[in-house]
A and B are shown apart, each in its own frame.
Chain A
Amino acid sequence: MARVFARLKLRLIANRLRRSSVIQAFGFLVSWLLAIAVGIGLGYAYGALLLAVENDLAISGTVFTLTGLAWLLLPVIAATLDDTIEARQFELLPFTSRQLAYGLTVAAFVGPGASMTILMLAIGIGVGYGFGFVWLLQLAAALSGLAFMIVASRWITTLLTDLLRSRRTQEIAALTIVGLLTLPGVAASLLVAETAENGGPGGFDIEAIVDAMEPLAWTPPGVFGLLVDAFERNAWGQIAAGMAYGAMGLVVAGLLFARSVDRLQTRAAVNRRSRRRRGGITALYPKRYPLPRTPVGSVAAKELKYLLRDSRVKAQLIGGAVATVVLVATGGAALRDTPYAPFAAAFIGFLVTASVIPNQFGFDGGSFWAYQSSSIRLIDVLAGKNLGWAAITLPLVVLAAVAAAVLSGDARYLLAGVLAGVSVTAMFTAGGNLTSILGAYPLPESNLFGSRNVSGTALIFSFLGLGLSGLLIIPIALLIGLPAFLSGPALATLGAVAATVYGVGGYALSMRWIQRLLEARALWLLDTIDKER
């Protein structure tokens, strides 16, 4: 059975390549190569850390824990590079849930995620501990760890697919994930604050940070790192304990996965609609929002209506706000009154704003629908979507500006922060619009758990869009950052005004360019989007 599942996965990947256009196949292959390159790079980094730091147990435990966390979270919040085989596709076949859980786990080993992890662990262990017979034992432990990570990851995604059929649970899950993502930031801030004190002014005690991470070797994925280290030290007591613990973790995760598969296949979604929503807004033109009664206003209203219902957007808004407050509260004490403060504030502001803006990649399936159903001009569809997203981003921009003021201890950074947020939003939006028109790929729409099967090509274009936007905002950072560093808030505010002119002007120019592009490419664009929808 394992062979059939693996063959099925390979066949699906091969067919995707066979059916792709040259550029899509190129994007897909580049994604795989990128994954392999990242795996090799991370492997050498892991090995280098083992060589550089004394506490190998803590390093291996942390690497395995973080890898496990990545396996848990990435399939939920990000697009994967290939077709994921889902339990529901087998619901008519005579499998027990345990057989199916086993088959799905085997299939998950065939893919860029697993290749990347295997490369990373094999190289890291070899470089750090040395290649030889023990390396083979360590590799076996690492592969068992990967099996655990895959089973746990598939359990979580299956559980979420089951639970997330109701909007309320989607929101709770999305917030939980944001909370989990904030944790490393909080932990890092606390560690930096703690070790900065121990290491003296301006210095960080790396060995102290590593030692503080040693308990991670006893998390369920971390214990496989402990095994890797114990094989090197011939610590047979730890090997026995680690193997028992790891095996137990694998079995428990497997049983939970099988149970989730069974529930997903045999339980219907019950989505209670609230009384408030029954008979909700049906008119296309905006009633609830202070938006112009124009085609642009109507698209913006539609966008706002959808976005405010969307679990991911809600989670990002709330999570962004919570993360900002938490990061300012935890890291603020260590950084205040140091030269790093304005940069830390800018970084937090950038993180918070940028976490929301890249979701807006101009033209997408929703735009196609608006164009098709109401004959609104494509350029107006795009402007309306931008307006809706800008309205969503505004509260976070203000919050990031407040964070900048708090961290720097100077209220004058509030205005500079708001202006910086506006200019960054405008430039990010311009970059996203251009990418979506030039690339014409349906990039992940605002659906947290619906974007798991986005093709590698779309992912590449997402990165290109992010890269382009990143380049476009460099002048903003320079216009505000340099005056802040050289002179202080007064000059930074002037720089922020200039940055706003640059950002908003750049957006306006990009829209003029896009209008010309649309005249030539509208039909191709619609055809491409429609095919992929």
Chain B
Amino acid sequence: MEVPAVSYDGLTKRFADTLAVDDVTIDIPLGSFFGIVGPNGAGKTTMLRMTTGLLRPDAGTVSIAGHDVWEDPATAKTRFGVVPDNPSMFERLTGRELIEFNGMMRGMDTDVIAQRRESLLRLLDLTEAGDTIVADYSLGMTKKIAIACALLHNPSVLFLDEPFAGVDPVARQTLEQILRRHINGGGTVVFSDHAMDVVERLCDRIMVIDHGTVLTTGSTEEITGGRRLQDVFVEMVGAQITEEGDLEWLGSSPG
């Protein structure tokens, strides 16, 4: 039997009175492009953080390629790469140095690091900016350099938390191409995003989560049933309609 790329079993997390993730049990198959969608505060980021060893769950287990993330985090972290929504990086290093130190910290051979670093920089259109300090990068460039660091060790699973937020269309196109290339090479991508059109276009499997509970999961076709994912999503989680007169003052003369 094939080991799933990611396997959740009863994953639960509570913050004070809030149940952030409630007993999630699901397998993500190898080679899938998996999208996690949900409204703000649904538990997407919490789930990704628990998956990548950044937040200890209250109950349940997470395995990456058969390695329990919380039993043996150091080994599990060699199997995946992560691009968090707000990556904590050494911003006073240049892009080139950042990738290089990432590789060195992972114990990679310096020749391999140099070769992969240059090809990633070229692919991400960062060759010229490679010698600029990361603190001076734009948001899109920061996301791209974070992706380069996440891909450097050729992980089998790539986790991304809202990778397209604040990224211009050209950079978005590049990121999409890289993620597709990762999938075509046998890798797995798991990402959360609010942009339903992107999720619908890229993902072959989707999970909808709200208030920490998985509302549905399955192939994109099964979930949308020929409709737009945006409409299905709003129907599932419910939409708040603004009452007539709520914002009457907005746009009137200032004061």
Decide yes or no whether A520 CB sits under 8 A from chain B: no
Partner of B93, one of A12, A99, A270, A272: A12
- Add 16 more A-B contacts to A11-B97, A19-B133, A92-B84 (CB < 8 A): A11-B93, A11-B101, A12-B92, A83-B92, A88-B88, A89-B89, A89-B90, A92-B81, A92-B149, A92-B150, A93-B105, A94-B77, A94-B106, A95-B74, A270-B16, A272-B16
Assuming A15-B133, A83-B92, A272-B16, is B105 touching A91 (CB within 8 A)? no
Residues of A close to B104: CB separation below 8 A: 4, 7
Residue of B nearest to A4 (CB): B104
- Asked if A93 and B56 sit within 8 Å, CB to CB, the answer is no
* CB contact under 8 A between A15 and B54, given known A92-B82, A94-B74: no
Q: Is A21 an interface residue (CB 8 A)?
A: no
Q: B4 contacts the other chain (Cβ, under 8 Å)?
A: no
Contact status B15-A268, CB under 8 Å: yes
Q: Is the CB of B55 within 8 A of A15?
A: no
* CB-based contact A89/B105 at 8 Å: no
Cα separation A446 to B82 with both chains bound (whole Å): 34
In the assembled complex, the Cα of A12 lies from the Cα of B92 at a distance in Å of 6
**Alpha-carbon gap, A74 to B65, bound state (A):** 45
State whether the Cβ of A515 lies closer than 8 Å to any Cβ in chain B.
no
CB distance from B30 to the nearest CB of A (A): 21
CA distance A7 to B100 in the complex (A): 12
CB-defined A-B contacts under 8 Å, sample of 17 = A4-B104, A4-B105, A11-B93, A12-B93, A89-B88, A91-B54, A92-B81, A92-B84, A92-B150, A93-B105, A94-B106, A265-B53, A265-B54, A266-B54, A267-B56, A268-B55, A270-B15
Which residues of A lie under 8 Å from residue B184 when comparing CB positions?
Answer: none
Which residues on the A side are within 8 Å of B81 (C-beta)? 92
What's the least CB distance linking B88 to chain A, in Å? 5
Contact B92 A16 (CB under 8 A): yes
Residues in chain A near residue B75, CB distance under 8 A: 94
Contact indicator per residue, chain B 206-225, by CB within 8 Å of chain A (1) or not (0): 00000000000000000000
Give residues 257-308 of A contacting B (CB, 8 Å).
265-268, 270, 272
Interface residues, chain A, with chain B CB atoms under 8 Å away: 4, 7-8, 11-12, 15-16, 19, 83, 85-86, 88-96, 99, 265-268, 270, 272
Q: Give Cα A411 to B122, complex, Å.
A: 78
Binary interface profile of B, 1-33, with partner A (CB < 8 Å = 1, else 0)? 000000000000001100000000000000000
Alpha-carbon separation in the docked complex, A8 to B76 (Å): 24
Complex CA gap A99/B75 in Å reads 13
From A96, which residue of chain B is reached at the shortest CB distance?
Answer: B74
CB contact under 8 A between A92 and B77, given known A15-B94, A266-B54: yes
Bound: A271/B106 CA distance, A? 34
Q: What A residues does B74 contact at CB under 8 A?
A: 94-96, 99
Are A4 and B78 in touch, CB under 8 angstroms?
no
Residue in B55, B94, B106 whose CB lies within 8 Å of A93: B106
Q: How far is the CA of A203 from the CA of B89 in the complex (A)?
A: 58
Q: How far is the CB of A103 from chain B (nearest CB, A)?
A: 8
- Count A/B pairs, Cβ under 8 Å: 71
> How far, in whole Å, are A92 and B76 apart by their CA atoms in the complex?
11
Q: Does B102 contact A (CB under 8 A)?
A: yes
Range for the number of chain B residues in contact with chain A: 20 to 34
Smallest CB-CB separation from B20: which chain A residue? Answer: A268
Does B52 lie at the interface of the complex (its beta carbon under 8 Å from any beta carbon of A)? yes
A273 to chain B, nearest CB (A): 10
How far, in whole Å, are A37 and B135 apart by their CA atoms in the complex?
Answer: 32
Please give me the residue from chain A that is nearest to B49 by CB atom: A268
- Taking a contact as CB atoms under 8 Å apart, the answer to whether B92 and A15 are in contact is yes
**8 smallest beta-carbon distances between A and B, as pairs:** A94-B77, A266-B56, A94-B74, A15-B92, A4-B104, A94-B78, A96-B74, A93-B105
Interface contact B53-A266, CB-CB below 8 Å: yes
Chain B residues within an 8 Å CB radius of A93: 77, 102, 105-106
**Most A-side CB within 10 Å, residue of B54, B55, B102, B150:** B54
The docked-state distance in angstroms from the alpha carbon of A93 to that of B54 is: 11
| B→A interface (CB under 8 Å) | 15-16, 49, 52-56, 73-78, 81-82, 84, 87-90, 92-94, 97, 101-102, 104-106, 133, 149-150
**Whole-angstrom CA separation of A79 from B113 in the bound complex:** 35
- A375 CB, nearest partner CB in chain B, Å: 13
CA distance A96 to B74 in the complex (A): 6
Choose among A4, A83, A88, A266 the residue that contacts B55 (Cβ–Cβ < 8 A).
A266
Contact assessment for A267 and B55 in the assembled complex, using a CB-CB cutoff below 8 Å: yes
A284 to B78, CA, bound (A): 50
In the complex, chain B residues whose CB is within 8 Å of the CB of A16: 92
B residues near A15, Cβ cutoff 8 Å: 92-94, 97, 133
Q: How far is the CA of A148 from the CA of B132 in the complex (A)?
A: 37
Instruction: Report the separation of the CA atoms of residues A372 and B186 in the bound assembly, to the nearest whole angstrom.
Output: 50
The answer for the CA separation of A89 and B102 in the assembled complex, in Å, is 11
How many angstroms between the C-alpha atoms of A509 and B102 in the bound complex? 54
- Give the distance in Å from the alpha carbon of A120 to the alpha carbon of B248 in the complex: 70
In angstroms, how far is the closest chain A Cβ from the Cβ of B233?
A: 26
Q: In this complex, what residue of A is CB-closest to B54?
A: A91
Contacts of A7 in B (CB 8 A): 101, 104
* Residues of chain B lying within 8 A (CB to CB) of residue A88: 88
- Greatest chain B CB density within 10 A among A8, A83, A267, A270 is at A8
Residue numbers in B under 8 Å from A12 (CB-CB): 90, 92-93
Interchain nearest-CB distance for B45 vs A (Å): 11
Complex Cα distance, B105 from A7, in Å, reads: 11
B residues near A267, Cβ cutoff 8 Å? 55-56
Q: Could you tell me if B101 and A92 are in contact, using CB atoms closer than 8 angstroms?
A: no
Q: Are A8 and B53 in contact (CB under 8 A)?
A: no
Q: Determine if B88 and A91 form an interchain contact, defined as CB atoms under 8 angstroms apart.
A: yes
Q: In the complex, are the beta carbons of A8 and B90 less than 8 A apart?
A: yes
For A8, what are the chain B residues with a Cβ–Cβ distance below 8 Å? 90, 101
| Residues of B with C-beta under 8 A to A85 | 90
Most A C-beta atoms less than 10 A away, residue of B53, B76, B105, B133? B105
Give the distance in Å from the alpha carbon of A15 to the alpha carbon of B101 in the complex.
14
Q: Which residues of A contact B54 (CB under 8 A)?
A: 91-92, 265-266
Q: What is the bound-complex CA distance between A92 and B97, given in angstroms?
A: 17
Q: In the assembled complex, how far is the CB of residue B106 from the closest CB belonging to chain A, in whole angstroms?
A: 6
Which B residues are in CB contact (< 8 Å) with A90?
105
A495 to B15, CA, bound (A): 60
Q: Using CB atoms, name the residue of chain A closest to B46.
A: A268
| A400 nearest CB across to chain B (Å) | 42
Complex CA distance for A25 and B81, rounded to whole angstroms: 36
Contacts of B52 in A (CB 8 A): 92
- Report the minimum CB–CB distance from A285 to chain B (whole Å): 15
CB distance from A340 to the nearest CB of B (A): 50
B87 neighbours in A (Cβ, 8 Å): 92
Q: Which residues of A sit under 8 angstroms from B53, Cβ to Cβ?
A: 91, 265-266
* A19 CA / B133 CA spacing, docked (Å): 8
Shortest A178–chain B CB gap in Å is 29
Complex Cα spacing A96 to B75, Å = 9
With CB as the reference atom, state the residue of chain B lying closest to A266. B56
- Please, which residue of chain A has its CB at the minimum distance from the CB of B80? A92
Most buried by B among A88, A90, A94, A266: A94
Closest to A271 in B: B16
Measured between beta carbons, the chain A residues less than 8 angstroms from B93 are: 11-12, 15
